[in-house]
Structure 1
Amino acid sequence: MSIRNLKDGNKKPWLCDVRPSGRNGKRVRKRFATKGEALAYEKFVLRETDDKPWLGETTQTRSLLDMIDLWQERHGQSLAHSKYTYNKLKVIGLAIGDPLYHKFTPAMFTEYRSRRLAGEVADLNGRKIAVSFRTCNNEQDLLNAVIVELQRMGEWKGENPLHSVRQFKLHEYEMEFLTVEEMEDLITKAENHEYHDDLHKVIKLCLATGGRFRETASLTGSQLSQYKVTFTQTKGKKNRSVPISPELYEEIYKPGSGPLFAIGYSTVYRFISRNIPRLKQQAAHVLRHTFASYYMMNGGNIIALQRILGHADIKQTMRYAHLAPDHLEDVVSKNPLTSLRREFSAEKEPAE
């Protein structure tokens, strides 16, 4: 289902293309002069089918993939990386078997999850690879968010089958960061890269600001002001500005408002993975983790770090709190062994 502008020069360029009874039901297509008219007609067709089921199949014939399509049209397309998320959801829906949505059960999802852990389910790239418990939890969160949003719209009738599925309990993992020697080596190799002159600039800027690869590599001249960069189109949907040194500003500055770097996310990711093999699993975020870790080790403020990284929830930022020099330092002076030593010392002191 979609409303789209065909841009074909027709006086009625807006097409309403809808299957009110699901992907196997009747298809309704009609053109309109304005988007508003097309949207109004779509609502009318859907309402007619819901109110008069003899005009077509009822909404109970919608499959899980139909509901994913509906979510994408009504909500998902507004999210960051919407195409990737939508495609991932379709892969999950197909692997589950695309049941009628009202017959989707907790057992269906847990059976899919078991096959995913065993490497029996192909991913977006067609590879059958055994995944981690964390990946299964992430996929459950993703599908659950779709169902919750559809319930909010009034499109998903009945219970959410994932509410009764407990996620896997995970051990908290240590987020590693680069040593000074590794940073120096990485920047040197990037500066000498045969094909990408901007690679070392992106790496330096990530280390200096905590920016994500994609946010940093896509910066434009309009996002750079004197000694400050402003990240837009961020994962958290909020712009954030971070100061940079005059030296780094001069190095990355380009006149005009066009792209600052002629390089993409995948190039930076592959370079990090190849040159820091011990952190291959964290390659996508290792520069961001490195910034946050050194910021706290150098006495930075945890609330300021939250704003710099653009975290919506302070719990995300608290992962770095233990790196602060004064983190829980009063444990040394307030533990019972210290109290025992004081008592023992007092007993040994001679009476005057």
Structure 2
Amino acid sequence: MSVRKLSTGKWLCECYPNGREGKRCRRQFDSKGEALAFETYTMDQAKNKPWLGEKEDRRKLSELVDLWYSLHGCSLNDKKGRLGKLKIISAGMGDPIASMITPKDWAHYRDQRLRGEIDNGYSTSLATRKVSTGTVNCEHAFLRAVFNELKRLGEWSLPNPLENIREFDQPEREMAWLTQEQILLLMAACEQHGNDELTLIVKVCLSTGARWNEAAKIKSSQISPYKITFINTKGKKNRTVPLTRPLYDELIARKGAPFLPCYKQFYRVIRLAGIELPEGQMTHVLRHTFASHFMMAGGNIIVLQRILGHSDIRVTMRYAHFAPDHLEDAIHLNPLAQMVGNKNLIS
């Protein structure tokens, strides 16, 4: 027994924290309870010694980011952009030992980001510009995903230091879309600009709900009679959307010729048409416009989800309020309306 009573009336605790081959620990106490408590404490302390168990993880955050990139991040569409953002986070936090990062460390890092006290990675005067809470939330999600993915891959066994930290609440962003009159102004501006390829890409986006890059990178193999299949999409799933005969004929007439880059020209035609858009929204307004008019014309929200390629119906539900009968049941199914409809209840 590691704890036993001596002939002197004392209680002896004799234990081997490092195993039988290690150093023996002996101590006498006046009571058995004290001896047992000392044994528990001594053995627990030994368990917390890294050289007795799994080796202490001393990898720095930048090393984990590099490991994540080689094992998973390199497969992402925006792999270079994501890696760059993670490098900024790592440098901004002082490249700490990853196992020693605490929620407090992250809280102070994002506070400094919001106050513009950390380099943004720019080589200009924007290097220490203040960032928005939305930017900080994105960084939070990116770094949290690194730890989660490495844990799934068996490369990280400790808790995720950002797991229980809440992101900042964000107000829902304004979602711009074009009216029929604005669409006519936009198409007239495209014609005035004289870039037929720009005009055709705008038509594809407005007719199919495609993202700008999806429409601008169309190849002849993606076009079949009155249908177009979008590949290499954001959701990594191909989707096929019907085409009108005139639009199909225009695309076929190109004989597979690739579109020339004309993203920046879209900015010019928007200004030429006199259309003002919220900050941060430009070509995506075409996708919003398609979805908004689809619902206003009585389209089905599930069909819209399939056309837009959303994996989560909650994303598509942003457009539900455009439906003609959206929430109209509130007029007929509220309690006062039902009471008026059944006068016997209130007579």
Same fold (TM over 0.5): yes
Inter-partner Cα distance in structure 2 for 1:221 and 1:124: 40
Equivalent runs, 1:1-352 vs 2, <5 Å: 60-126=57-123, 127=126, 128-193=128-193, 196-259=195-258, 261-268=259-266, 272=270, 276-342=275-341
Query: Which letter does structure 1 place at the counterpart of 2:192?
Result: N
CA offsets per residue over residues 293-318 of structure 1, 9 Å max, x none?
11011001111111111111111111
Inter-partner Cα distance in structure 2 for 1:149 and 1:119: 29
CA positional deviation for 1:339:
3.2
Please, which moves more after superposition, 239-248 or 112-121? Answer: 112-121
Inter-partner Cα distance in structure 2 for 1:160 and 1:224: 46
Tell me the secondary structure at the aligned position of residue 164 of structure 1: coil
Any stretches of 5+ residues in structure 2 without a counterpart? 1-54
Q: CA 1:327 to 1:147, structure 2 compared with 1: closer, same or farther past 3 Å?
A: same
CA positional deviation for 1:335:
1.8
Q: Which has the larger radius of gyration?
A: 2
Alpha-carbon contact 1:273-1:283 (below 8 Å) kept: no
Q: CA 1:233 to 1:132, structure 2 compared with 1: closer, same or farther past 3 Å?
A: same
CA offsets per residue over residues 248-305 of structure 1, 9 Å max, x none?
122233454442x112545446754785333333224211111111101100111111
Alpha-carbon contact 1:213-1:268 (below 8 Å) kept: no
CA offsets per residue over residues 307-341 of structure 1, 9 Å max, x none?
11111111111111111111122111122332344
Inter-partner Cα distance in structure 1 for 2:240 and 2:213: 16
Alpha-carbon contact 1:273-1:279 (below 8 Å) kept: no
Inter-partner Cα distance in structure 2 for 1:270 and 1:59: 57
CA positional deviation for 1:193:
1.7
Q: CA 1:345 to 1:203, structure 2 compared with 1: closer, same or farther past 3 Å?
A: farther
Inter-partner Cα distance in structure 1 for 2:179 and 2:308: 20
Tell me the secondary structure at the aligned position of residue 88 of structure 2: helix
Alpha-carbon contact 1:207-1:290 (below 8 Å) kept: yes
Q: CA 1:218 to 1:112, structure 2 compared with 1: closer, same or farther past 3 Å?
A: same
Q: CA 1:346 to 1:69, structure 2 compared with 1: closer, same or farther past 3 Å?
A: closer
CA offsets per residue over residues 196-252 of structure 1, 9 Å max, x none?
431111111111111111111111111112211111001100000111111112223
Tell me the secondary structure at the aligned position of residue 193 of structure 2: coil
Any stretches of 5+ residues in structure 1 without a counterpart? 1-57
Alpha-carbon contact 1:222-1:258 (below 8 Å) kept: no
Alpha-carbon contact 1:214-1:264 (below 8 Å) kept: no
Query: Which letter does structure 2 place at the counterpart of 1:71?
Result: W
CA positional deviation for 1:161:
0.6
Inter-partner Cα distance in structure 1 for 2:283 and 2:174: 15
Query: Which letter does structure 2 place at the counterpart of 1:181?
Result: E
TM-score, reference length from structure 1? 0.75
